[in-house]
Structure 1
């Protein structure tokens, strides 16, 4: 797909707006049947301004610029303290559209006539009164929870997948999301590289926002995105090393890889974290022909083929078309008679999509053994027919393990037990080399920080384990003790340095100074 017209057709197709023959679905949250986990769920929605970027409200029809507003929705394990906590309805979520679509004063009775993604049908009106599994603004439960930063589909709302978000929060995750919007106004340009970079920056804004919460484990961060959000997340991963895993809900990185390649940050070597991609059912030839789509949509996946440093899992859900990778699509989207399955199959498959997402996140962020086994198994081994779900996977090619990688491991255990860590690591990576000079400089640097002196001693102990005949290392360890006023250990190690190098003038001078 090289022409602009083909690209725009693809955008329209994968956002579920092009349906030649439609009918109305009858679904409900209850029938989707997601079984909540052990935590009660809180929900907050607020707006923060990004002062580094400007923005214009399109509906105000002027040239006035404001700081870029970032509407934020967040779901979290909560403490419901009293009966005054308000249980939300679908309508409470839908009302967020008014802010995100920049019609905040729109009367509720206009919602389903004004917004094209809310077809005004009796079935859809019935959804608005449904209770959801979340309460408004309760206290954050004490704990340290992994977080998922979500990138919405093309021009979509922060709440488009609220059922999945609630489900994950009830199982001990925090989910934070913002709407997909253009660089200068609400509107994107057409899934361009500029649009992708704008959404990536919004995701990075959320990566900063999570630092304002005390109950989030900042060492356990995953990205998740639907459709265009998946494409934006792919480039975000290449820019940020503090991400542990990425979930793609039929992400457009499969459909629009050339746009990803246009990112100035494009570097496959920096995509080295676990990655799972859930894909839609095979698109019927009738639909491809009528909507002028390439047959490559059904089989080509250049990112999957190109990645070398990641463990990659690729699923296809044979009862889901693209729109139904969000609960909003399951509940509100019109059905396409040419390809959509029954409502019962759509709801059941969306339920399975949520289960698989949870298992992947439990495996990668919580290191749960059962979840790891679930993700490594074929679907049939987990009790799912190949006619319902199919899977491919490939393991990362083992890359060279360097002193930086070892230091990452040492950092995670606060530089304790470094000699056992080295022994276990060298058994797995026999080519690992920790140079004396590097350990010496790093150990001293830590030792001169009063809050990290013990970490510095441990690094120098490891260095001496590897280089036991080094007079310079004993001298450095002595200097570390001397700086921290541990004079008895300083004297001991200056003497050891002199035994190995009697001409070490620094040790001679220090011992003289200490004797005086």
Structure 2
């Protein structure tokens, strides 16, 4: 039986590629935890849960254990937690074993008997873990969707992990009014990653983007309030997603691998630290003890080095180090099922307490960034002691973004919002706040022409040119462009007047000479 286990090869791959992050796999002892003892404080919504499979027809995929060359459209397994107002009295919530049914499906072992679950996947078959399978969660299958619009969080799992690996955190966020959607982390060609982690990072990023589009299909989702959250390898993919998607308004990293493998991020043609311009929070594991660094041959700089965080300059960034958590305990399955490493792991009560605080910081960060909740903002800005945490639990640092100079794009965004009306007044108000701002003649001329030749915005282009000639009264080119605008609008007399003014400023302006000859015939 042991020779048939799905996880044998996966175990070797994980230890080889991400040994730094999966230290809990060695020197094992039994965990004693429960959902009840974690005691996450759910919000006032009941939690609905739905799971379904769709596909991305732009990519192909092979089911590895079918042992066939046949290709199918890439299957996307979707787990979705959401707020519900349904009366759940008399209904039975999901059990943890129900989430393991999804794990079986995503590992492509749908028909595996449940009594084999803990023999087959990741975790030891102990009496304690058998009890975890029987535990009740706070989610109800296919409960009614809540009415109204809710912000959405897209979750990216860890290295080759299931969509349900952080189910307790996802339920917790849904109970507080957020839709959470997740799909498994799986390879480009098959369920398992290949040897090119840069390619697999891009694949997971595309899966996250697929889920973002999928979220837009649900009327209850507020697409303008979207955050992405990832654990471990999912953190890498999420940075790529944020870099190329303006809909992402915040990033939550649960000990994301972007801390450990900045070089891998740099292999992506889409990565640019300067494009991280939304609030970012990274919650990191404890310092790895010296004995573990030595015995497992880990670079000691990983305890202090964080190149991505140091490179962020255009957004506010938060960094928290949880002194009682090693890497695996940033997930629900890790807290409940993972073995403990006696060289470094804290006690189960300490691990559960810290996981609860991870959930609290995640919730308050999302409330502050997506809902502009004042109380949540204060929580995030406070030191841990002010939030009621023991001093030994966490260390927090906050980095402010560099002050960015006001530029022409900023001006245009403000002008567009006002339909390009009262531009002189807008410009004066901008100078009061940004006295160093300099308007460029060429920018105004190009913007004016773009607008004036747009039949729906022609008059707005004239407004731009009027501001431009006030700022640059000796520019023959601006008068020439204004004249072209009037001519396009059919205002012949004003066009002649502006062409003549252009010629006064530059008698060699051939365009004005030719236009006037035509207009005066």
* CA spacing shift, 1:403–1:324, aligned 2, 3 Å: same
Q: Which residue, out of 326, 329, 352, partners 1:324? A: 329
Q: CA deviation at 1:215?
A: 2.3
Aligned residue in 2 for 1:486: none
Aligned residue in 2 for 1:175: 180
Aligned residue in 2 for 1:34: 40
Say whether residues 1:441 and 2:438 are aligned partners.
no
The answer as to whether partners of 1:85 and 1:138 remain within 8 angstroms in 2 is: no
Q: Which residue, out of 7, 26, 31, partners 1:19? A: 26
**TM-score, normalised on structure 1?**
0.84
* CA spacing shift, 1:196–1:472, aligned 2, 3 Å: same
Paired residue secondary structure (1:206): helix
The answer as to whether partners of 2:14 and 2:22 remain within 8 angstroms in 1 is: no
Q: CA deviation at 1:497?
A: 6.8
What do the CA deviations read for 1:16-68 (whole angstroms, capped 9, x no partner)?
55312x21122111211211122222211111111111111111122221111
Q: CA deviation at 1:332?
A: 1.1
Q: CA deviation at 1:164?
A: 1.2
Paired residue secondary structure (1:334): coil
Aligned residue in 1 for 2:509: none
Cα separation, 1, equivalents of 2:150 and 2:421: 27
Aligned residue in 2 for 1:241: 246
Say whether residues 1:344 and 2:352 are aligned partners.
no
Aligned residue in 1 for 2:101: 95
What do the CA deviations read for 1:139-172 (whole angstroms, capped 9, x no partner)?
3223222221111001111011111111212222
Paired residue secondary structure (2:257): coil
Q: CA deviation at 1:185?
A: 0.8
Cα separation, 2, equivalents of 1:119 and 1:198: 30
Aligned residue in 2 for 1:70: 76
Instruction: Kindly tell me the number of residue pairs found equivalent between the two proteins.
Output: 489
Moved more, 35-44 or 376-385: 376-385
Say whether residues 1:198 and 2:175 are aligned partners.
no
Aligned residue in 2 for 1:399: 404
* CA spacing shift, 1:506–1:81, aligned 2, 3 Å: farther
What do the CA deviations read for 1:150-198 (whole angstroms, capped 9, x no partner)?
1100111101111111121222222111101111111113572122111
Q: Show structure 1 runs of 5+ residues with no match.
A: 483-489, 511-516
Cα separation, 2, equivalents of 1:225 and 1:276: 11
**TM-score, normalised on structure 2?**
0.84
Q: CA deviation at 1:478?
A: 7.0
Describe how 1:220-239 pairs up with structure 2 within 5 A: 220-239=225-244
What do the CA deviations read for 1:425-470 (whole angstroms, capped 9, x no partner)?
443334153743244234446x634xxx6xx756755664565688
The answer as to whether partners of 1:153 and 1:228 remain within 8 angstroms in 2 is: yes
Q: CA deviation at 1:253?
A: 1.0
Paired residue secondary structure (2:18): helix
Paired residue secondary structure (1:303): helix
Cα separation, 1, equivalents of 2:320 and 2:219: 35
Say whether residues 1:53 and 2:59 are aligned partners.
yes
Q: CA deviation at 1:115?
A: 1.1
Structure 1 residue runs of 4 or more that deviate by more than 6 Å after TM superposition: 469-480, 494-507
Q: CA deviation at 1:356?
A: 0.8
The answer as to whether partners of 1:247 and 1:277 remain within 8 angstroms in 2 is: yes
Is the radius of gyration larger for structure 1 or structure 2?
2
* CA spacing shift, 1:284–1:219, aligned 2, 3 Å: same
* CA spacing shift, 1:44–1:314, aligned 2, 3 Å: same
Q: Which residue, out of 220, 224, 232, partners 1:219? A: 224
Aligned residue in 2 for 1:487: none
Moved more, 37-46 or 340-349: 37-46
Q: CA deviation at 1:93?
A: 1.4
Moved more, 139-148 or 24-33: 139-148
